[in-house]
Amino acid sequence: MNKEHYLQKTSIVCLLALLCCFLWGSAFPCIKIGYRLFAIESTDTWSQILFAGIRFTLAGVLVILTASVPQKKILFPKKGSWGMVAKISMAQTVIQYFFFYVGLAHTTGVKGSIIEGAHVFLSILIASLIFHQEKMTKAKSAGCVIGFSGVILVNVSGAEGLGGGLALNGEGFLLIACVSYAFSSVLVKLYSAKESPVVLSGYQFMMGGVIMTAAAWIGGGHLTVTSLWAYPMMVYMALISAVAYSVWGVLLKYNPVSKVTVFGFTTPVFGVVLSALFLTESGQIPWVQSLVALLCVCAGIFIVNRGETLENTD
């Protein structure tokens, strides 16, 4: 019987996954605030992509430098790993964040954070039905349904930030971003058996960031700093990616996709509350709905992880 790695302990997975989800939840209001600090209009697509490209290039540099210091040398992917880096970069950074940044510019931070919850369903479905990395069990199905019901509950809370219907370049683009992200989670799980997930994370960010920055520059994107707060905001957003994706990748290496990604249901809850606190989109925070939603999310997480534990003991 194999000894359980400490990163497979449910308590450790819970703490680290929630940290990642809190960071990602904070990205929704930060991106909207960043658009103001860099004078980026909702119709200025190339400037939005430039903003994202600089963020991810910086995130990649931070990841690689941080990982390289203890080794006293600059870390590079193995010779045969560059193809894996490129595939993850396209799914997790270029495609996902092109649609995410443009989509978020055409909807509210609250609504965007809600739609993002769909990636949990998609990640588990893709891992189970397409890549056959794990089985789709009744517990996983039930956990997803209950968890997503909490996401929907916040969505129908009646907050002003949830109105306006659906638009292809808004909510539609965010759904495309969710599909791309779901594929990237499965690819990280697959490739981390052959390459360090931290190295994969750092270099895919740099590769994707450079591609987005170059494309945006050619397309005429530009940033205008309107406040000194713009610089620490950019650094914080880079840190969100550097920390969250690196930790998430390590968790995926040692755990089933469903056990980790189900915590993604908390990202919309964090996103809704933080958007309501820092943006002027929703008037008042729907505290009652948010609390009930959080309970549903927690129940969904518990059911999926409980089911995983029972499967492993069979």
Task: Give alpha helix (H) positions in 40-137.
Answer: 45-71, 82-88, 96-105, 109-115, 118-125
The pLDDT value recorded for residue 59 is 95
The helix, strand and coil proportions of the chain, stated in percent and rounded to the nearest 5, come to 80, 0, 20
Section 212-237 average pLDDT: 94
The pLDDT value recorded for residue 159 is 47
- What is d(CA 121, CA 224) in angstroms, rounded to the nearest whole number? 38
Instruction: Tell me the per-residue pLDDT of 107-164, one tens digit each, with 9 for 90 and over.
Output: 766 666 666 666 777 777 787 778 777 777 787 778 777 777 766 665 555 444 444 5
For 144, 215, 292, the CA distances from 297, given in Å and listed in that order, are 9, 38, 9
- Buried b / exposed e over 194-233, threshold 16 CB at 10 Å, is ebbbbbbbbbbbbbbbbbbbebbeeeebebeeeeeebeeb
Q: How confident is the model at residue 260 (pLDDT cuts 50, 70, 90)?
A: confident
Section 245-269 average pLDDT: 84
Domain boundaries, the chain: 3-312
The pLDDT value recorded for residue 7 is 84
Section 21-39 average pLDDT: 91
* Cβ atoms 103, 114 nearer than 8 A: no
The pLDDT value recorded for residue 209 is 95
pTM (two decimals):
0.78
* Cβ atoms 27, 96 nearer than 8 A: no
Q: How confident is the model at residue 206 (pLDDT cuts 50, 70, 90)?
A: very high
Instruction: Tell me the per-residue pLDDT of 52-88, one tens digit each, with 9 for 90 and over.
Output: 999 999 999 999 999 999 888 999 999 889 999 999 9
* Cβ atoms 113, 28 nearer than 8 A: yes
The pLDDT value recorded for residue 162 is 47
Section 91-101 average pLDDT: 88
The pLDDT value recorded for residue 155 is 54
Residue with the two structure tokens 């969710």: 178
* Residue 43 pLDDT exceeds 60: yes
Q: Which residue has better confidence, 1 or 271?
A: 271
Q: How confident is the model at residue 50 (pLDDT cuts 50, 70, 90)?
A: very high
Q: How confident is the model at residue 17 (pLDDT cuts 50, 70, 90)?
A: very high
Residues contacting residue 310 through CB under 8 Å, at least 6 positions apart: 139
Q: Which residue has better confidence, 127 or 233?
A: 233
* Residue 216 pLDDT exceeds 80: yes
The pLDDT value recorded for residue 185 is 85
Instruction: Tell me the per-residue pLDDT of 273-309, one tens digit each, with 9 for 90 and over.
Output: 787 778 765 554 556 666 676 677 777 777 776 665 5
Instruction: Tell me the per-residue pLDDT of 158-191, one tens digit each, with 9 for 90 and over.
Output: 444 444 556 677 778 888 888 898 888 889 888 9
The pLDDT value recorded for residue 79 is 87
Section 191-214 average pLDDT: 93
